[in-house]
A = this chain, B = another copy of it.
Amino acid sequence: MQKSIQLKKRPVGTPTLEDFNQVDVAIPEPSEGEVLVRTVYISVDPYLRGRMNEGKSYVPPFQLNDVISSGVVGQVETSKSEHFSEGDVVIGTLGWQEYNLANEKTIRKIDHTQAPASAYLSILGMTGLTAYFGLLDIGKPQAGEMVVVSGAAGAVGSVVGQLAKIKGARVVGIVGSDEKANLIKNKFGFDEAINYKTENVGDALAKVCPNGIDVYFENVGGEIGDAVFPLLNNFARIPVCGAISAYNKSSADIGPRVQGYLIKTSSLMQGFTVGNYAPRFKEGADALAEWLKEGKLTYEETITEGFDHTIDAFLDLFKGANVGKAIVKVSDIQQ
């Protein structure tokens, strides 16, 4: 038997332990063209909260009493595919279980000798690609421009700031603790950091962005976003990646309407999801790997040990507790 995490009921507001069931299920047997994958790392991500609601979004909702799934790095235990051998380290969207069956077409091998296997769930995976395409394709920062990033110590935000620096922009990060403020300045090279819990974000932004804001990478929404709009420069760009402040609201998310700000400044605001860029993933992954190798990019992970803490690691995302990419380590890679 193995452990498996199912969605027990649809969360109302912030998810709690009671919304999930951890159950024992049989370890399945692969059929022709399938492999059995032992879970090594599970990626826990804020966007999964949206899939716990009913109704349409860019990915279909999780079904009740069905296993939760997300990005997983694992190792092939048994292969009935000619493309995979026992011991291969692979990545794919798989269930929150200790073992998963995977069709050979839905996983790919990764080279964990080039970068740590967990990096393929963060800077070299969807997280890094989200930062890459959102910032560079929508935000288009130019040398000397002012880029503001909310959720700046988070998995995506910390990469966004570094990419903006690579492009020669000045970068201000908004975070929720002094510890994170120090981290983004000292480790990720942000020029300035604002702690929204102790500072008035509008006043602080006006001070560190005396010439206005050219790019706002939106991870958070709510009142932090509200504070940015009055400071936009003409032709500003706002990639809208997340609105974590609103994910757990069961009431309406109300604030100043943006139309007037967008008209005054001819600014652009564009929602996106990394999946839109699937045809260009190789371009992004190659660029990120190159910058990582050159030492121009670094990353942070919050690794929670043990499958039994998977739900906790997910719930922690909404407490502002973690830094960088949140990952659960379930087992070791066997050499």
The main secondary structure of chain A at its interface with chain B is mixed
A265 within 8 Å of B by Cβ? yes
Separation of A265 and B264 alpha carbons in the complex (Å): 25
A261 within 8 Å of B by Cβ? yes
> Hey, which chain B residues are within 8 Å of A57, CB to CB?
264
Q: Indicate whether A254 sits within 8 Å of B257 (C-beta atoms), given known contacts A264-B56, A273-B266.
A: yes
Copies in the complex: 2
A218 within 8 Å of B by Cβ? yes
> Hey, which chain B residues are within 8 Å of A50, CB to CB?
264
User: Is B269's CB under 8 angstroms from A262's CB?
Assistant: yes
Q: How many residues of A contact B (CB 8 A)?
A: 37
A 247-283 contacts with B by CB, 8 A: 252-273, 276
Separation of A108 and B9 alpha carbons in the complex (Å): 68
> Hey, which chain B residues are within 8 Å of A222, CB to CB?
257
Q: Indicate whether A262 sits within 8 Å of B271 (C-beta atoms), given known contacts A58-B234, A234-B58.
A: yes
User: Is A240's CB under 8 angstroms from B262's CB?
Assistant: yes
Q: Indicate whether A271 sits within 8 Å of B276 (C-beta atoms), given known contacts A243-B257, A256-B253.
A: no
Q: Indicate whether A265 sits within 8 Å of B221 (C-beta atoms), given known contacts A243-B259, A255-B257.
A: no
User: Is B255's CB under 8 angstroms from A266's CB?
Assistant: no
User: Is A252's CB under 8 angstroms from B256's CB?
Assistant: yes
A64 within 8 Å of B by Cβ? no
Candidates B252, B253, B259, B270; contact of A240 at CB < 8 Å: B259
Top 9 nearest A-B pairs by Cβ distance? A262-B271, A243-B259, A263-B271, A221-B259, A268-B270, A269-B269, A253-B257, A255-B257, A240-B262
